[in-house]
């Protein structure tokens, strides 16, 4: 019990520090625990959806690096900033929820249809928290290796080499693959850049 | 000018009537015009995303009935009701935004990646507005036949035969394909039905 209370106090203290660190820019929609690990965000399915790539096994010789749907969301505060400024603000969090391929045929035709939730990942941009990461993005995964549920309640940041290289090389906007996220492309930087 | 003012007055009058008709159940997130046609909803990309099926041409002998991604959203008031009650309330609106297949290869692998917005469709459940439609769902499309933009500002309801038959035959919940919408499946009817 004492341990639990101590952990809670440390957690509260840390959150205070973490919030103070990013308070100069704006409210953020994520929290770290006493170890500096990211706590699994809640309510992200009601954030702003931005797009879904799918790279299934049967299109990648049975060995896809990412064989599931990736449902991608941005927190609503950072979406508002993106719409106005066309950039990812300090404190942006983007969520990637992994969904299995559930079916390949329906009354609408042959294709890919979503099955079950099987994992959860996130990336956060913060110059204050991640001054040494490329463009200040850190990457996290709450998923289990076998994609079983529940996912983990906290996650450590990946080493830089694990994720940043592909994002630096191929993503259209500040290491984010906006070229595959039409909601972001259409909303970028205000009305002037919106397609008719 | 007089015609415009007259149209505006009729519109205002009609909206008053339409709102009165559904006010006994709850606020709704759609509006009809003076002709009873559905006005294109605004802000739906910030509603609750529920899933994306894709049935591309190259998986359907080059002639897919629906060759694009379908990004599907539910209005947030009806999502709250779904979570609590496990049913689609009077006044539910579900949006289907059509997105082209933009790419079939990326650094993450071979697959399907979203391109551009090319159309917009909607379905509304209302016993008061559509007493004779199966399960009281009416279906609308704002899309142009050639998928050019902008989509149309208003839409007439489809004849019942155009959409309802497939939805009645194959959809898992009240004519909605919840079996392909994991966000709805996971949230249905409160915590007790959520997977661990």
Task: Parse chain A into domains and list their residue ranges.
Answer: 24-190
Q: Is A17 on the interface with B (CB under 8 A)?
A: no
Query: Closest Cα to residue B105, out of A23, A65, A9?
Result: A65
Minimum distance, in Å, between the CA of residue A17 and any CA atom of chain B: 31
Maximal C-alpha separation, chain B? 61
0.90 exceeded by pTM: no
Say which residues have a Cβ less than 8 Å from residue B129's Cβ, sequence separation at least 6. Answer: B18, B21, B22, B136, B138
Q: Rounded distance, CA B42 to CA B63, Å?
A: 31
b/e map B60-73, b = 16+ CB within 10 Å: beeebebbbbbbbb
Does A186 touch chain B if contact means CB atoms closer than 8 Å?
yes
Omega of the bond prior to B129 within 30 degrees of 0, cis? no
Q: How far apart are CA A100 and CA A68, in angstroms?
A: 5
Report how far residue B132's alpha carbon sits from residue B130's, in angstroms, rounded to the nearest whole number. Answer: 6
Asked whether the beta carbons of residue A55 and residue B169 sit closer than 8 angstroms, the reply is: no
pLDDT of residue B21: 40
| Highest mean pLDDT: which range of A14-18, A22-26, A81-85 | A81-85
- Tokens 């008709």 locate to B21
Q: Please identify which residue in the block is written with the tokens 């519109």.
A: B11
- Is a pLDDT exceeding 60 seen at residue B3? no
**CATH T-level topology, domain B24-190:** Chalcone isomerase (3.50.70)
The residues near A116 (Cβ < 8 Å, ≥ 6 apart) are A99, A100, A102, B182, B195
C-beta separation of B123 from B138 below 8 A: yes
Distance CA B141, CA B163 (A): 11
Residue B23 has pLDDT above 50, yes or no: no
Residue A195: what pLDDT? 42
Residue B160: which pLDDT band, with cuts at 50, 70 and 90?
confident
B59 vs A: CB within 8 A: yes
User: How many CA atoms lie within 13 Å of B76's alpha carbon, on the beta-carbon side?
Assistant: 10
User: Residue A49's closest CA among B22, B78, B49?
Assistant: B49
ipTM passes above 0.90: no
Burial B30-51 (b: 16+ CB within 10 A, else e): bbbbbeeebebbeebbbbbbbb
pLDDT at B104: 95
CB contact under 8 A, B111 and A56: yes
- Span B13-42, mean pLDDT? 72
The per-residue pLDDT for A162 is: 85
- Which of A189, A192, A193, A196 minimizes the C-alpha distance to A85? A189
Mean pLDDT in residue range B121-131: 97
pLDDT band, residue A169 (cuts 50/70/90): confident
Q: What is the pLDDT of residue A81?
A: 95
User: Testing the interface with B: which of A52, A63, A151 to mutate, by most B Cβ within 10 A?
Assistant: A52
Say what percent of chain A tops pLDDT 90. Answer: 77
């Amino acid at each position: 019990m004492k341990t639990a209370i101590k952990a809670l106090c440390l957690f509260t203290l840390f959150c205070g520090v973490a919030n103070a660190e990013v308070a100069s820019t704006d409210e953020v929609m994520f929290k770290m625990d006493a170890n500096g690990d990211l706590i699994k965000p809640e309510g992200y399915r009601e954030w702003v959806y931005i797009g879904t790539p799918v790279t299934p096994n049967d299109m990648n010789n049975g060995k896809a690096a990412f064989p599931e749907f990736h449902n991608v969301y941005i927190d609503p505060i950072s979406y508002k900033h993106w719409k106005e400024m066309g950039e990812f603000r300090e404190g942006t969090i983007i969520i990637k929820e992994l969904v299995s391929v559930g079916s390949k045929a329906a009354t609408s035709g042959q294709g890919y249809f979503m099955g079950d939730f099987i994992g959860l990942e996130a990336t956060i941009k913060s110059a204050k928290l991640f001054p040494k990461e490329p463009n200040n993005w850190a990457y996290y995964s709450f998923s289990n290796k076998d994609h079983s549920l529940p996912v983990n309640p906290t996650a450590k940041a990946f080493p830089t080499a694990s994720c940043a290289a592909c994002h630096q090389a191929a993503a259209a906007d500040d290491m984010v693959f906006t070229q595959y996220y039409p909601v972001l492309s259409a909303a970028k930087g205000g009305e002037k850049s919106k397609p008719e």
